[in-house]
Chains A and B, each alone.
Chain A
Amino acid sequence: MTITSKAIDAVVDAAEDLSWDLSDPQDVDSKMDVLASALLDLGAISFTRDEKKRFDLYDILVKYAKEGLIDDSAAGYCSEINNGIRRFDYDMHDGDSFRERIADEVDALQDEIKTAMKKLEKNVKKANE
C-alpha cells in the first residue's frame, strides 16, 4: 500500500484536532478514534485478524512503536488520556477538571505523532526519488 502525503496530513490534522476543545471527555474519546482511523488509513503497518478483533488507538500506537515508526512514549500518553476519560466516565474525578488532567498528555501525544509523521514523510519522499 502506498503512503500518500494526503494520508499523512490527515493523521497530523487528527492529532492537532485533539486539543481543539479539552472540556468534554466524550468529544476527546471520539477524536482519539478519529486519530486511530487516520493511522489505520495511513496503511504504514498491517494488522493481523486477531489484532483487529479488539483494538484502539493505544494498540495501534504500540504496534507503530514496535515497528520503529513512533516513540514508545506515545502509547503511554494515550494510556494516560484513556485513564482520564474512563475516570470521568465513572464519575470519579475528585473535582479536578478533565482539561487539567489530560492537557499535558495531549500535547505530548501530538508532538510524538507530528515527529513520527515528519519522519515518515521524509522516508516516503526519499523512497520515491
Chain B
Amino acid sequence: MLKKLTNRVDDALKTAGLTWMDLSARAEQIILFGSTAVGCDRPDSDVDLLCVGEGKDLDTGRLHLLWIKNQCFRDPLWLGSEIGTHVAQYGVWLKGKPTFAASSAPHPRALERKRERIFRRAHALLRNWAALSPRFRAAQRRKLRLDVQRLELLQRGLAVKPNPLLDQNWRNKRNRVKWLKAVLSGEGDLWRVVESVMKMPLGNRLPRFEHLQEPSCG
C-alpha cells in the first residue's frame, strides 16, 4: 500500500522536476493528504503533500505542495482548521511521525471562515456568471457545492473528506435541494445566495433548478 502511494508521489514530483530526495532533505515531515491518501483518487487527481519546514508552495495541477511551519502543530487554530482536522484524520505520514492527536474537533473559526467563503464565492459567481463558459460555470458551482458539504461536516464536528468522497455522497443524495436548504437554513443569508447560484443556467438555456449538472472530475 505504502509502496503504491510512494510511486504515485514520485510520479507527481517528477512532473514538477522534483525528486523525493530533494523534498525529503528540505522537509522535517511530509504528509500525504486529500484523495490519494484515502485511496479514492482518480488518474487525473492531483497529489497533495503537506511539508513541514521552509519551502515554496507549488500547484501544477498534478502536484500540490503546501508548506507549513512546525509551530502550526502546536497552534489550536491550525489544529482546528479545515486542513488541520483533515490531515489529522486522513493524512498519511511519508516522512516523520504525527505529533498531534489523530482527531480534533473543528475550531469555531473554521466554520466562520467556511461560511464567509461560501458567501463570497456565491456573490462572485452571481457577478461573473455571464462571462463564464458552461464548463467553468459547472466547475465553479461544484466548488460552491463542495464547500457547502464541507460546512455540513464541520457543523457536525467532523473532519472534511476528500473531494471524490464528497462527490460520491452528492451523487447518492435523493433530494439535493432539500439537503442544501437544511444545511444552510440556519446560516443567515447563505441559503438565499447559494440558491440564486444554483438557479443560474449552465448554458444558454432557461434557468432550471433540480438538475445541478456538474463535471465528473476528481
Q: Are A30 and B44 in contact (CB under 8 A)?
A: no
A8 to B140, CA, bound (A): 24
- Residue of B at shortest CB range from A38? B131
Interface size on A, residues (CB 8 A): 31
Question: Is A107 an interface residue when CB atoms closer than 8 A count as contact?
Answer: no
A53 to B44, CA, bound (A): 8
A59 to B64, CA, bound (A): 14
A74 to B78, CA, bound (A): 32
Chain B residues closer than 8 Å to A82, beta-carbon distance: 59
Q: Mark B68-83, 1 if CB is under 8 A from A, else 0.
A: 1000000000100111
Q: Mark A39-81, 1 if CB is under 8 A from B, else 0.
A: 0110000000000111110110000000000000000000100
Chain A residues closer than 8 Å to B185, beta-carbon distance: none
Beta-carbon contacts under 8 Å, B118-166 to A: 120-121, 123-125, 127-128, 131-133, 135-136, 139-140, 143
Question: Is B58 an interface residue when CB atoms closer than 8 A count as contact?
Answer: yes
Chain B residues closer than 8 Å to A41, beta-carbon distance: 133
Question: Least Cβ distance of B217 to chain A in Å?
Answer: 5
Question: Is A89 an interface residue when CB atoms closer than 8 A count as contact?
Answer: yes
Question: Is B117 an interface residue when CB atoms closer than 8 A count as contact?
Answer: yes
Q: Are B83 and A56 in contact (CB under 8 A)?
A: no
- Residue of A at shortest CB range from B45? A54
Question: Is A34 an interface residue when CB atoms closer than 8 A count as contact?
Answer: yes
Question: Is A96 an interface residue when CB atoms closer than 8 A count as contact?
Answer: no
Are A54 and B128 CB-contacts (below 8 A) given A79-B59, A89-B117, A92-B81? Answer: no
- Residue of A at shortest CB range from B218? A54
Chain B residues closer than 8 Å to A31, beta-carbon distance: 124, 128
A26 to B133, CA, bound (A): 17
Chain B residues closer than 8 Å to A33, beta-carbon distance: 128, 132, 136, 139-140
Q: Are A91 and B128 in contact (CB under 8 A)?
A: no
Question: Is B5 an interface residue when CB atoms closer than 8 A count as contact?
Answer: no
Chain A residues closer than 8 Å to B66, beta-carbon distance: 86-87, 90, 92
Apart from A31-B128, A56-B139, 17 more pairs, CB < 8 Å: A14-B131, A25-B117, A26-B121, A30-B121, A31-B124, A33-B139, A33-B140, A34-B136, A36-B136, A58-B60, A79-B59, A79-B60, A86-B57, A86-B64, A90-B82, A91-B82, A92-B83
A41 to B7, CA, bound (A): 38
Question: Is A4 an interface residue when CB atoms closer than 8 A count as contact?
Answer: no
Q: Are B61 and A37 in contact (CB under 8 A)?
A: no
A53 to B139, CA, bound (A): 12
Chain A residues closer than 8 Å to B120, beta-carbon distance: 24-27
Q: Are B136 and A86 in contact (CB under 8 A)?
A: no
A25 to B116, CA, bound (A): 11
